[in-house]
Amino acid sequence: MIDRLSAIEDRYEELGHLMSDPEILSDMALLQKYAREHSELGQTVNRFRELKSIEVEIEDARSTIEDGAEAEYKELAREILGELEPKRDRILDELRLVLTPKDPNNEKNAILEIRQAAGGDEAALFARELLRTYALYAEQHKLKFEVMNLNEIGIGGVKEAIVKVEGSGAYGRLKFESGVHRVQRIPATESGGRIHTSTATVIVLPEAEDFEVEVRDQDLRVDVYRSQGHGGQGVNTTDSAVRITHLSTGLVVTCQNERSQIQNRASAMAVLRARLYNLEQERRMKELGKQRKSQVQSGDRSEKIRTYNYPQDRVTDHRINLTVHNLPSIMNGNLDPIIDRLIAAEQAGEFDDQVA
């Protein structure tokens, strides 16, 4: 453990020197990358240095006790040990947690994709409600919530929504929402009062920086067309919508919510980079032989992760067997009771044992 902390301290000091290098200062993207890493390591390094200082004081106090000092000095040394040893142990516990492997993408912005799945119009209405839930959650955590593309249906439902959630730790918290969300309730359009089951899918990807994903112009086909809408003043009258096809992978991204073609292209490229980054991560995991990937870690959407049961006023997260009541509160963006438990389960390594 000490060797790893020493290596982190060495890297912290190395980054400090790199950020003053004229060549690095001229490369804004690389400078930002190093500055972010330097900032992330700072708290750990400070605690490690505090630990080393305490260890020196503890050693001095023990020497005083063992070297035959006068009784009053020995008693003072014992008092010092009584204060410093518990403090050292607390710092050690903190540092062990810090050294627990973390997702390097946790601090990134998130690209959130919500889609209607099984259940027809009711699934689209539920997708709309999930979109609202995440918007409220982002507001509570002071995260910027920007709808990049929205494909609606006539009754107010959402066929597809792509959103950028911007702010520190956005991906680290929202990544747990990746999967199939199932709702059980009586639809507003159901005259017989029967409970229906519908689903919506959520994909959460870390936003990739330009330097993390190389996208060559020759690999892209860009189409522009007129934005679609339900009428009114908000419908564009110019070819501002953008569809980008990545030829080598077949990935297609469409954005039409911005007023200008330039803005929509920038949004589409952000989504494309995130998807390509995710593909590369999955490829690397397979190469490393990590065949058993949890739904939380890999974003596997083949199984339902959560059920929203309106008649019983409950939300159940199936990955950690957690049931929370007061469903309206959850749908109003109060997801922390679930997300905090998921974070704790991830840190404890519980997903590897429970999810194949």
Structure confidence at residue 297 (pLDDT):
39
Please tell me the predicted confidence (pLDDT) of residue 142.
Answer: 93
Token code pair at residue 145: 């919530």
Beta bridge partners of 151: 160
110-206+299-354 CATH, one of 1.10.287.3510, 3.10.20.90, 3.30.70.1660, 3.40.50.720: 3.30.70.1660
**Cα–Cα distance for residue pair 325/311, rounded to 1 Å:** 11
Q: Which of 181, 66, 169 is nearest to 126 (CA)?
A: 181
- Per the rule left: phi > 0, alpha: psi between -120 and 50, beta: everything else, 143 is beta
Owner of token pair 């870690």: 297
Q: Which of 310, 326, 298, 331 is nearest to 132 (CA)?
A: 331
Residues in the chain: 356
Which residues of the chain carry a pLDDT beneath 50?
A: 230-235, 288, 290-302, 352-356
> CB–CB of 180/305 below 8 Å?
yes
Q: Residue 323 corresponds to which amino acid?
A: T
Domain residue ranges of the chain, discontinuous segments joined by +: 2-99, 110-206+299-354, 212-287
b/e code 304-339 from CB counts within 10 Å (16+ = b): bbbbbbeeeebbbbbbbeeebeebeebbebbbeebb
Record the pTM.
0.61
How far, in Å, CA of 206 to CA of 203, rounded? 10
CB-based contacts of 16: which residues, under 8 Å, 6+ apart?
A: 38
C-alpha span between 138 and 319 (Å, rounded): 23
CA 120 from chain center: how many Å?
29
Question: According to CATH, what is the number of the domain 212-287?
Answer: 3.30.160.20
pLDDT tens by residue, 249-268: 888 888 887 778 888 888 88
**Closest alpha carbon to 222 in 259, 185, 186, 255:** 255
- Tokens 């939300």 label which residue? 315
Residue 325, pLDDT score: 93
The span from the CA of 48 to the CA of 3, in Å, is: 11
Chain mean position to CA 53: 35
